[in-house]
Structure 1
Amino acid sequence: MSADFWAGYISGAAGILIGNPLDLIKVRLQAGTSSLTSIPSSYTSQFSSAGSLIRGATAPILGYGALNALLFVTYNRTSALLNSSTTGAPPNLWTTWLAGAIGGLATWVVSTPTELIKCRAQISTSSNAASSWGITKQILRTEGIRGLYFGGVVTALRDSIGYGFYFWSYELSTQLMISRMRERGSDTQEAAKVLLCGGLAGVVTWASIFPLDVIKTRVQTQITADSTTAPLLGPAVSTDGPERRRLGAVEVARNAYRTEGPGVFFRGLMVCSTRAFIVNAVQWAVYEWTMNELDPERKTSKIKDDEL
């Protein structure tokens, strides 16, 4: 495996461990009335026990590590291909966005089932909530592999747009910070630069796709009893008990707007932004550190570039 694969995997797992408690709050706020359980009114009441701090974290730790690895490998290869004619020049911001969008789209196969399992685990406030593995088995038993990809189209759209802005904002803030430091004649502090730029990239990313994330969460947290079919965005009908139709992304968005107003699409944004800054600052720091350790030539090249 390449250095960027392992750097992406390790940084992704580290980000989930740090950000899961705030992510749990974000998902419950987004799920709103579509959740099977009521949402406690205060943030502290979201956690009934120490175990609730990591509820739903198993699937993301395993899945998001692989997702992050796939993301960075695809992004790096695509970026190198798009910028092959301008070797030695700073990355073009448009090609950076495009490479990030392609990288985000490539993660669809991992991100959709990971997000679905995570969200369903997190909306439960019961102390006896099913584990990620238990939820996975239940979905496979009642809906098959297709059930794991319910909400796949809106997830792919969210990831493609979001990761485009993720790499774009990281590259832009890095270039601006280096430029300002050179103007002031100060040395670039690599750790501080990575933490700040990584945190800002996380906030910009989530701000750009938060309404899509709200819709995705509401689509994926619809649960019907023993449903046997689950199209990616189309309706699914339960064959046992009362007929219940799962709504597609457009219907979910319309219903949310009609019943709760436009503010529903930004519910939980403050919590998400706080989490995004912390998690992505750490993720980029871990990624850069791991890459430098696994690829010493890259570290030497970066030092030379900063000195130019």
Structure 2
Amino acid sequence: MAAELAPVGIPVQMEMQEPVAKINFLHALVAGGIAGVVVDIALFPIDTVKTRLQSELGFWRAGGFRGIYKGLAPAAAGSAPTAALFFCAYECGKQLLSSASNTKDSPYVHMAAASAAEVLACLIRVPVEIAKQRSQTLSGHKQHQTALQILLRAYRTEGLRRGLYRGFGTTIMREIPFSLIQFPLWEYFKLQWTPTTGFESTPLSVALCGAVAGGISAGLTTPLDVVKTRIMLAERDSLTRRRNVPSILHGIYVERGITGLFAGFVPRVLWITLGGAFFFGFYDLTTRLLGAANADN
């Protein structure tokens, strides 16, 4: 109706696009935060098992099935801002790159937007991961350290880059390949859902697409996750601390073979498959609810 009332359609169109972009940004912020909290709290025990399987100490010495919720506090505190930042950057990146390249639903756009979003999200994710994973594998007198004490100790003894952001590069090396696989698959599965099944897209279908995409991505990138875990858990003067990624991978292979490189494969795939379902499902559901509430207003 607005276009019919205006003598020229372009100015009206430009006026309408700006609020929509702002609303989408807010939706991504809220929906991403909610999805991140739900996933991290619901599936935390699986993540703990995965971390302990990948630890140099071995599963039982790292804690076994005891204290399965250790590290939940930093994970829950960091999940909302990490996921919110990621989805804001991802959605904005998709819009900007799609406009710049004059393409729609391009896998290259999805890859580039997801990679850039991962780098930004890791600014929050890495310190949270350090606090969480060290809490998950602490033993002896160190068991009583809080997440804040762990981070303060890391900062005081090793500084910002080598302490709080230890493993930042390795985390990026894990997250970018993961996102290069996961997000194009997720977007592709969503596009093919209706033509393939004949049913309209729903939060449940989006969740199923996210589960499949996440499981595939998790399995393929498990060796990189093992390296990231080893680096974050390593003591300051340990050999692992001084080695690079290829040498750590080689060392793990020599020590434990292929099974060592894929340590924690089952819990990681299970965790991210279920996490993908929760994450993308809740993200889509929250976005729809916010859109409907905005339309009513």
> Is 1:77 matched with 2:96?
no
Determine the C-alpha separation between the residues in 1 that align with 2:101 and 2:287: 23
Query: What corresponds to 1:47 in structure 2?
Result: 65
Select the residue among 274, 278, 285 that pairs with 1:282. Answer: 278
Question: Is the 2:203–2:285 contact (alpha carbons within 8 Å) kept by the matching residues of 1?
Answer: no
Determine the C-alpha separation between the residues in 2 that align with 1:164 and 1:107: 15
Greater than 3 Å deviation, 4+ residue runs: 125-129, 243-248, 297-300
**Coordinate RMSD, CA, aligned:** 2.7
Deviation for aligned residue 1:40: 2.1
Q: In proportion to residue count, which structure has more helix?
A: 2
Which runs of structure 2 are paired with 1:1-308 in the superposition (5 Å)? 2-31=26-55, 34-35=56-57, 38-40=58-60, 46-48=64-66, 52-84=67-99, 90-124=104-138, 128-146=143-161, 147-182=163-198, 187-188=199-200, 190-224=202-236, 237=237, 246-296=242-292
Give the match's secondary structure for 1:55: coil
Unaligned runs of at least 5 residues, structure 1? 225-236, 301-308
Query: Structure 1 counterpart of 2:171, which letter?
Result: T
Q: How many residues align?
A: 269
Give the alignment's TM-score, normalised by structure 2.
0.81
1:15-34 per-residue CA deviation (whole Å, 9 max, x = no partner) reads 10011100000011111xx2
Question: Is the 1:59–1:132 contact (alpha carbons within 8 Å) kept by the matching residues of 2?
Answer: yes
Question: Is the 1:195–1:282 contact (alpha carbons within 8 Å) kept by the matching residues of 2?
Answer: yes
Percent of matched pairs sharing the same residue = 24
Unaligned runs of at least 5 residues, structure 2? 1-24
1:57-101 per-residue CA deviation (whole Å, 9 max, x = no partner) reads 2222222221111111111111111212687x7511222122112
Give the match's secondary structure for 1:47: coil
Deviation for aligned residue 1:295: 2.6
1:163-205 per-residue CA deviation (whole Å, 9 max, x = no partner) reads 22221111111122221123xxxx3251330221121122122
Determine the C-alpha separation between the residues in 2 that align with 1:164 and 1:77: 17
Give the alignment's TM-score, normalised by structure 1.
0.79
Query: Structure 2 counterpart of 1:80, which letter?
Result: Q
Determine the C-alpha separation between the residues in 2 that align with 1:294 and 1:166: 25
Question: Is the 1:27–1:119 contact (alpha carbons within 8 Å) kept by the matching residues of 2?
Answer: yes
